[in-house]
């Protein structure tokens, strides 16, 4: 059946159950605007699919989560204007900062750091003013790994949106930007203390 001959009730059925089930669920929840419920479900489904797909991309010794952590360390290094191989004692990022950035638990970050340290891609240094804390820095080998992997991952991300035309991508981006702004305001009105800015980060936490 072509797109032109689709019946109205056959459109937008990638997410959700059969129409008769959807009708019962909507009655239970007393849904007045089905389009908003569908938007909620589709955005949740999109986030979940991207999480699963990106989490399985190149699932080798340098997973997407490890790569993202290394990128964060390299960005911090370059923002400070330092050369990776030559840095002072106070250079680096704390594990708690990495935990907030990746939006995962400290235990998960610890597991990621252990793996990266075993690969020789990061190093830990005792904090110069607080001996109970560590600072994490990327090594020259880690920088090399990031600069090789990051462009590959960028191409992979590009391919996820090939189903949309450039104009459709621009429209979707503008709408999502507007929605995020509204949700941030909604969260503020509810008194929610958001843990970090809503920067898009790979949500998978595999090590």
Where exactly are the structural domains of the chain?
A: 14-56, 64-155
Percent of the chain with pLDDT over 90: 40
Q: What is the pLDDT of residues 122-175, one digit of tens each?
A: 999 887 777 778 899 999 999 999 999 888 888 989 999 999 999 999 999 999
Strand-strand pairing, 134-138 and 122-126: antiparallel
Which contacts (CB < 8 Å, 24+ apart) does range 50-53 have? Answer: 50/160, 50/203, 51/202, 51/203, 51/204, 52/204, 53/160
pLDDT at residue 204, as a whole number: 46
Q: Percent helix, strand and coil across the chain, each rounded to 5?
A: 60, 5, 35
Cβ–Cβ under 8 Å, residues 30 and 5: no
Is pTM, for the whole model, over 0.85? no
- At 125, which helix (H) or strand (E)? strand 122-126
Q: What is the pLDDT of residues 62-79, one digit of tens each?
A: 777 888 899 999 998 888
**Centroid of chain to Cα 7:** 36
Cβ–Cβ under 8 Å, residues 140 and 148: no
Q: Which fold has domain 64-155?
A: Arc Repressor Mutant, subunit A (1.10.10)
C-alpha–C-alpha distance, residues 144 and 70, integer Å:
10
C-alpha–C-alpha distance, residues 49 and 146, integer Å:
24
């Amino acid at each position: 059946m072509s797109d032109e001959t689709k019946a109205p009730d056959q459109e937008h059925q990638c997410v959700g159950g059969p129409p008769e089930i959807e009708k019962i669920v909507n009655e239970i929840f007393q849904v007045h605007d089905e389009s908003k419920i569908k938007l909620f479900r589709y955005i949740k489904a999109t986030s979940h699919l991207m999480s699963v797909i990106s989490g399985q991309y190149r699932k080798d010794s340098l997973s997407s989560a490890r790569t993202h952590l290394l990128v964060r360390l390299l960005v911090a290094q370059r923002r400070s204007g330092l050369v990776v191989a030559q840095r002072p004692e106070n250079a680096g990022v704390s594990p708690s900062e990495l935990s907030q950035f990746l939006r995962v638990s400290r235990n998960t970050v610890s597991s990621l750091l252990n793996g990266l340290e075993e690969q020789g891609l990061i190093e830990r240094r005792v904090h110069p003013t607080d001996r109970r804390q560590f600072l994490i820095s990327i090594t020259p080998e880690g920088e090399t790994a990031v600069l090789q992997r990051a462009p590959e991952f960028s191409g992979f991300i590009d391919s996820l949106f090939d189903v949309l035309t450039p104009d459709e991508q621009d429209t979707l981006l503008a709408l999502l930007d507007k929605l995020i702004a509204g949700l941030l305001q909604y969260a503020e009105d509810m008194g929610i203390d958001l843990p970090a800015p809503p920067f898009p980060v790979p949500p998978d936490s595999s090590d």
